[in-house]
Amino acid sequence: MSEVLGAAIVAKALKSMGVETLFFLSGSPSTDIYKTSQKIGIKIIDVRHEQAAAMMAHAYSRVTGRTGVCISGAGPDSLNLTTGLAVAFLDACPIVAISGSGSLNTMAMDGFQDLDQISVMKPIVKRAWQAPLAKRIPYFVGMAFRHASANRPGPVYLDLPANLLAERIEESEVEETPEPPVKRRPLGDSDLIRQAIEILLRAERPIIMSGSGVLWSEASSELQEFVDIINIPFYTTPISRGVIPEDHPLYFGGARTKALREADALLVVGARPTFILSFLQPPRISSQAKIIMINIDAEEIGHNRRVDVGIQGDAKAVLKQLIEEAGQKFKDRRPLSWVEHLRKADEERQTKILPRLNSNAKPIDPMRLCKEIREFIPRDTILVEDGHDTLNYARQIIPSYYPGHRLNPGVSGCMGVGVPFGIGAKVAKPDKPVLVFSGDGAFGFNGMEMHTAIRHNIPIVVVINNNRGWVAKRREETFPGQDLGLVRYDKIIESLGGYGELIENPDDIRGALERAFSCGKSALVNVITDEYAKSETQQFAADIASVI
């Protein structure tokens, strides 16, 4: 009989779950997990901070649609995962996070890194377990993957004590790893499907709002088919942009606020009524609007606002039902004047911002920077946005055309996701160009992960919207801690072995982008922009006090 190390049991269980890549920072007692993982063909990416490992797993998951994996050592190593896991929890993104922990043999004795990691993790993950025996590790790995992707996805935490990882046991005693989870597609109630179609038929100003549930259920094609059949405008939440190409004739990005305020019927597919949608409350959403909500999580239906039709089910399955029910019912309906109304509003918005898009001012107008990016990058570029003003500029100007190709901080608003998300996305789809558009403040959180990209030959391009501060300055008033000064981030990247370039003239942006993407390694373009250019941001008008 042969013996097997506890850490090797972990690696083999991950392999049986179909894991191809894991993100980690080497630390005791988890070291042998990485060693064995590499030996059995799992790609390992070591990072400079555990927070980034969780964020890379997050982006990898969003781009591939599979569960991402990150691993850390014990104690403070484990604690460093928490920000990344909290972001994934709020964004409903499936991750399996594994940490080593102090030995059970010295629990409560103030042993080395003796910390109750389970209690720390519980509020920010779907499930948190500690494996009690080395032979049962495969069971808990299997359960972690099952819970991470089931129903509303999210991160799951697995705690593995040091003595279990170092234990050698007979291979015959090790429990079998459960089968990988199977995606299930619960259908919606047929009566509710009919009611939803009737509301949309009667509506004069209907719109569709889709969220990341459409991504996780791989329902992009069904959503587009349904939009084309019923011929009504659609919008998406920021992290689900690209589920339908944004040059579709029924997408009017510049009229989003008008569409939401004036709509008399709103179909919400796979999106939660968070602050992103102003909790579905007036004045952002009319109090008279009929609300139809489709969500795999029944708890989200009616959350923050009573709905007229609530359908629990998988987005892909329910959209197929809606397509079938719609049938010929919309075929002879005359085009809604509502569509032309939104088209004109969108055109007016685009005309209004043209002077800034074409500005030759120095320092550079961030809108001109966004225009140069928009006109340069291919349609299938994966765009990562990070930073307050930077994200707001990009959302107005740079469109998306593919599902899973737009990443940003999401509901958490967590700055610092840019470079880790970019790395995770590039590892997930190495044949796609990846551009990280980041503010200079946001870049500072995880900028050293560019060293990770350079060491592992992961060629991403970072463009810094460098306004020398955390947010755009106000001429009439300054705030303590706002200024960051001019930092030569391009020189920092050069010193790490990447390509860096400083840009101060708007006419030089295009050439810099060409050189960055063609250099064959990780690159950073440091663009000096107007420190007083403040972006427009959505005023989330629904007062939380009025909601509760």
Residue 548 has pLDDT above 70, yes or no: no
User: What is the per-residue pLDDT across 407-442, written as a single tens digit (0 to 9) for each?
Assistant: 999 888 899 999 999 999 999 999 999 999 999 999
Torsions phi, psi of 364, nearest 5?
-70, 140
Query: How is the chain split among helix, strand and coil, in percent rounded to 5?
Result: 45, 20, 40
> Going edge to edge, which strands form the sheet with 68-72?
43-46, 21-24, 68-72, 95-101, 155-161, 127-130
* Nearest-angstrom CA–CA distance, 445 and 33: 28
3-state secondary structure of 205: coil
User: Which region, left, alpha or beta, applies to residue 412 given φ > 0 means left and ψ of -120 to 50 means alpha?
Assistant: alpha
The third-level CATH classification (topology) of the domain covering 353-528 is Rossmann fold (3.40.50)
Percent of the chain with pLDDT over 70: 97
> What are the pLDDT digits (tens) for 475-491?
666 777 788 999 999 99
Q: Using the 8-state DSSP alphabet, how is residue 429 labeled?
A: -
For residue 47, pLDDT over 90 is answered with yes
> Do 190-346 and 3-173 have the same topology in CATH?
yes
Task: Write the DSSP assignment of 476-508 as a string of letters.
Answer: TB--TT-B-----HHHHHHHHTSEEEEE-SGGG
- Band (pLDDT 50/70/90 cuts) for residue 234 is very high
* CATH number at 3-173: 3.40.50.970
Q: pTM here?
A: 0.95
Task: Tokens 């990846």: give the residue.
Answer: 434
Task: Yes or no: say if 352 and 367 are a contact pair by the CB < 8 Å rule.
Answer: no
Please name the residue that has the structure tokens 């009524």.
273
274-326: per-residue pLDDT in tens?
Answer: 988 889 999 999 999 999 999 999 999 999 999 999 999 999 999 999 999 99
Six-digit token string for 174: 């090790």
Going by CATH, does the domain composed of 190-346 fall within 3.50.50.60?
A: no
CA triple 437-443-448, angle to 5 deg = 120
Rounded to whole angstroms, the Cα distance separating 231 from 331 reads: 9
Domain range summary for the chain, segments of one domain joined by +: 3-173, 190-346, 353-528
With H, G, I as helix, E, B as strand and everything else as coil, classify residue 538: coil
H/E segment holding residue 454: helix 449-455
The total of other beta-carbon atoms located within 10 Å of residue 455's CB is: 15
* Residue at 33: amino acid letter: I
The residues with which 210 forms a beta bridge, in sequence order, are 236, 269
Distance CA 406, CA 323 (A): 27
